[in-house]
Amino acid sequence: MLRNRYLKEVYQGTAERNRGETEFLQAVLEVFLSLEPYVERHPELEAHGIMERLVEPERMVTFRVTWEDDRGRVHVNRGYRVQFSSAIGPYKGGLRFHPSVNASIIKFLGFEQIFKNSLTSLSLGGAKGGADFDPKGRSDGEVMRFCKAFMTELHRHIGANCDVPAGDIGVGGREIGYLFGQYKRLCNNFTGVLTGKGLHYGGSLTRKEATGYGLIYFVEEMLRCLGHETVFGKTLVVSGSGNVAIYAVEKATRLGGRVVAMSDSGGYILDENGIQLDVVKAIKEEERGRISDYARRVPGSRYVEGCRGIWSVPCAIALPCATQNELDLAAARTLVDNGVIAVGEGANMPCTAEAAAYFQEHRVLFAPAKAANAGGVAASGLEMSQNAMRASWSFEQVEEKLRDIMVHIFQISQEAAAGCGRPGDLITGANVAGFVKVAEAMLSEGLY
C-alpha cells in the first residue's frame, strides 16, 4: 500500500471521483507505488499539483454512434476519446472496438499511454479511444458503416498536429482504412491523422509487425542483460492470436524460440512441434476465423476450450498478448512452478498486480507493458515523421529504428530502477523513466 502522504491523498481523491472504475484505479495505483521514492525527493511536484493534474484527463468525450446493419436495423453504440496528456506532444493512442469497452478501460489505457509514449523518446502525448462495438461476425459493409459513423463525430476532436489515433483490439488495417476515408471526406484534407494506414495511402512498413517484434526485442535485451540468456532454444507460450501475438510469435520463432501455444477468447491450441504461423495467419488475418480451426488443420496439435488454461502449459517465456488482467495470481503460481524464467507483457496490463508482484518475488524477469509493448506506438511515431516529410522508409530502416528504440527503453528503465534503489525492477524503472519527462514538461509549461 502507499506510504507517501501526498500520493496517498491524491489516490484517495481519484478513487472517490472515479468510483467503480477498477481498471483505471489499478493502473493509477501501480504507477503511484513505483513513483514513491521519486516523489519523496521532489517536493515541487506537490507544490505544482502535478499528480492531481496527471490523473485527470485534459479532455474526454463520449458520443453516440448510430449505424445500420445489413438488414436495415438501427444500432446505437457508445464512442469514447480520452485526451489524457499533451505535455510532451500531440495526443496519441489507439482505438479499441470491443463489447467490454467502457470509461474505466479507456481511461486506464489512456493513462498508461502517457508514460509509454514518453519512454519511446518521441514527442507524443497520451490518449485512447474506442467503442463498445463488436466487429466479430459483422460483414465488411457493417464494419464500414460503423467506422464512418464513429468518425463522423470523432473528426471534430482529432488532427495531424493535435490527436492521432491508431488501432488496438478490434481495430486493424480494415478499420483504419474506413476511418481514414471518412476523415478525409469530412475534412477535405489528406493528412497523417491516423497511423496503421495501408501502405498505398501513407502507411509505414513495419507498423503491422511493430508491437510484436518490439516485444521480442525488449525481452531479448532483458534476457541478455539481466539473465545472460537469449530466446534461442527456449519454449514460449503466447496468449491471443491477434496483431500483437502473431508478430511476437513470428520474431520469436525467427530468433530460434519454439512457441507451443496460442489462444483466442474461446480457448487455446497446443502444438509441441512449434506453432505453424502461416496457418494461424490464414485463419486470423484472412478468414477472421477461430483458433480452434488450427487443430483441425495441423496433425498432432490439439485445441482446449477456455482461454485461461493456456498458462498451465509449461514454458520458459510467457507472453500475455490478449487483454487486461488475463493472467492472475493462480496462473502466475502455475507458471513459476513450471519453471518460467521470463514474462513479457505484450497486451496492456495483462497481469494482475498480484501476479506481477509474484513474478518479481520469485525472481522471474518481468517486462512491463508500458515498456515492452511500446514498439507499436514507436512505429506509429515513425509513420507520422514519414507523413510529415512525405517520405517512405524501407522495412529495414524502420525495423532498425524500432530495435534501437526498444533497446533504449530497456536501458533507461533499467537505469531508473537502479536509481530508485530497486535494481532489476523494470515496473518501477519504466514508470519513473516515463514520468520524469512528462512531469518536467508540466513544470515548465505552467498551470493548465
**Footprint on this chain of ligand NDP (rule: CB under 6 A):** 167-170, 172, 211, 240-245, 264-266, 307, 321-323, 326, 346-348, 373, 376
Return contacts of 120-123, CB within 8 angstroms, 24+ apart. Answer: 120/374, 120/377, 120/378, 120/381, 120/405, 120/409, 121/405, 121/408, 122/89, 122/377, 122/378, 122/381, 123/88, 123/89, 123/90
Q: Which is nearer to ligand NDP, 168 or 221 (CB)?
A: 168
Q: Give the nearer residue to ligand NDP in terms of CB position, either 120 or 348.
A: 348
CB of 298 to ligand NDP, least distance (A): 18
Q: What share of the chain is helix, strand, coil (3-state, %, to 5)?
A: 50, 15, 30
Location of C-alpha cell 524464467: 341
What is each CA distance from 385 to 73, 119, 207, 268, 381, in whole angstroms? 42, 17, 13, 39, 6
* Furthest CA-CA distance within the chain: 64
d(C-alpha 163, C-alpha 127), whole Å: 8
Please report how close the Cβ of residue 240 comes to ligand NDP at its closest, in angstroms: 4
Query: Phi first, then psi: what are they for 212, rounded to 5°?
Result: -65, -45
Q: How far is the CB of 108 from ligand NDP (least distance, A)?
A: 10
Residue nearest to ligand NDP (CB): 242
For 8, other C-beta atoms within 10 Å of its C-beta total 14
Contact 342, 227 (CB under 8 A): yes
Cβ distance to ligand NDP smaller for residue 221 or 326: 326
Shortest Å distance, C-beta 419 to ligand NDP: 26
Query: Shortest Cβ distance from residue 352 to ligand NDP (Å)?
Result: 14
Extract the C-alpha cell encoding 188.
477535405
CB of 167 to ligand NDP, least distance (A): 5
Minimal distance, residue 52 CB to ligand NDP, in Å:
26
Q: Are 85 and 4 in contact (CB under 8 A)?
A: no
In angstroms, the CA 439 to CA 431 distance is 12
The residue (of 28 and 51) whose beta carbon lies closer to ligand NDP is 28
64 phi and psi, to 5 degrees? Answer: -80, 135
Q: Which is nearer to ligand NDP, 38 or 178 (CB)?
A: 178
Please say which residue, 89 or 344, places its beta carbon nearer to ligand NDP: 344
Residue among 50 and 158 whose Cβ is closer to ligand NDP: 158
Residue 358, all three cell numbers: 509474484
Produce one character per residue of 113-122: b if its CB has 16 or more CB atoms within 10 Å, e if not. bbbbbbbbbb
Q: What is the DSSP string of 205-227?
A: TTHHHHHHHHHHHHHHHHIIIII
Q: Which three cell numbers stand for residue 69?
A: 446493419
DSSP 286: I
CB of 42 to ligand NDP, least distance (A): 29
d(CA 156, CA 61): 11
The b/e string for 332-342 (b: 16+ C-beta within 10 A; e otherwise) is bebbbeeebbb
Q: Which helix (H) or strand (E) holds 59?
A: strand 59-68
Of the pair 99, 233, the CB lying nearest ligand NDP is at 99
Positions marked active-site: 128
